[in-house]
Structure 1
Amino acid sequence: MSTRTARFGVSSQRVIVVMGVAGTGKTTVGRRLAEALGLPYAEGDAFHPAANVAKMSAGTPLDDADRGPWLDAIGVWIRDRAGRGGGVVAASCLKRAYRDRLRTAAPEVVFVHLTGERALIGERMAARTGHFMPTTLLDSQFATLEPLQADESGVAVDVAGSPEEITERALAALRRL
């Protein structure tokens, strides 16, 4: 275990998936967690095929068939990182079936579910620039969301507060696993 991961009490062999609806801060918190833990970070949006990005940019929600290749690509990254010291990836993983699919890549996957009030998330989503996901898709994200269940390895972390506060809550919750 590296000095940083030992300091934070989180296994360096785990792959942490920062999940949640659009606008919860998956990228920001994911990067901060990776930095705090001394682990590599991957942006889940980078694994989307161009057709998925075009579909979402046009305001059309993805369906399960669209998400299959994306989940498989993230699964390859997870499998690779699980064998080489762990990592952090941001990916919505809104349904249990998506999380189950990623868990087949490596047994040490743990989820950090960023949660919050729809109004707060909508405000944050509307304020961001340069992202392909329009605010109009937020309701479809909430409709699709299946929160972590008791038998899933993971923690729920409220997104109220600053990125630093959210990251500290996530680290504290991960230490308790």
Structure 2
Amino acid sequence: MDTVVSNAPPVHVRGETTSRLPVTDHVVVMGVAGSGKTTVAALLAERLGLDVAEADEFHPRANIEKMSAGTPLTDEDRWPWLRAIREWLESESDAGRSAVVTCSALKRSYRDELRRARGRVRFVHLAGSRDLLAERMAGRSGHFMPLSLLDSQLATLEPLEADEDGLVVDVTTPVRDVVAAVAAWLHAPSAS
């Protein structure tokens, strides 16, 4: 696992796009609500020319209704959702494509399920302080996830471990620098 910290010098990558990842390499942009997963995933996918999916689209209606009511999901609620994301990654692999997907991926066991997808699955953990995440959540509109579930997500979160194929990024880093750092990490010889 690698780490990018906010006081590190920005990573500069020439041009607006970089080359595509090796076929069937997938990136899961993970973290709790308010960490910026959707923004980073969309910009990263655009930069790399990859398909992108939002994990919320894989939730069954019952999960969304439960979260909207302020009730945390259980593991039993999450397993079908995680399998659906893994199956989407596998369909991308079967089509010979790499992809980017958002997913909170809060526990190692959840990430293990996603890692079962054909191809290499790498994780980018967007990490930030509770206060910053709460501020971001309070400022967004039209999302079903209430601020009241942030503490539940933080309590459930198991950070990436040293043996996991991942990168931790401080979300106080400007988003453009986050995307550049992730793209550079994905293309680094040690990441292959």
In the superposition, the TM-score normalised over structure 1's length comes to 0.92
Query: Which structure has more helix as a fraction of its residues?
Result: 1
**Match for 2:69 among 53, 58, 76?**
58
| 1:21 correspondence with 2:16 | no
* 1:20-169 correspondence to structure 2 within 5 Å: 20-83=31-94, 84-169=96-181
> Unmatched 5+ residue regions in structure 2?
1-14
- SS of equivalent to 2:33: coil
SS at match of 1:24: coil
Q: Does the residue aligned with 1:120 lie in a helix, a strand or coil?
A: helix
**Secondary structure of the residue that 1:131 maps to in structure 2?**
coil
TM-score (norm 2): 0.85
Q: CA deviation at 1:107?
A: 4.0
Q: 5+ residue gaps in structure 1?
A: none
- Could you tell me how far apart the structure 2 residues matched to 1:159 and 1:120 are? 9
Structure 1: 4+ residue segments shifted above 2 A: 6-13, 172-176
- Partner letter of residue 56 of structure 2? D
Q: In the aligned structure 2, how far is the partner of 1:82 from the partner of 1:18?
A: 18
User: For this pair of structures, how many residues does the alignment match?
Assistant: 173
Percent of aligned positions that are identical? 54
Q: Within 2, Cα distance between the matches of 1:133 and 1:42?
A: 18
- CA displacement 1:98-132 (0-9 Å, x = unmatched): 00011112240111111111111111111011000
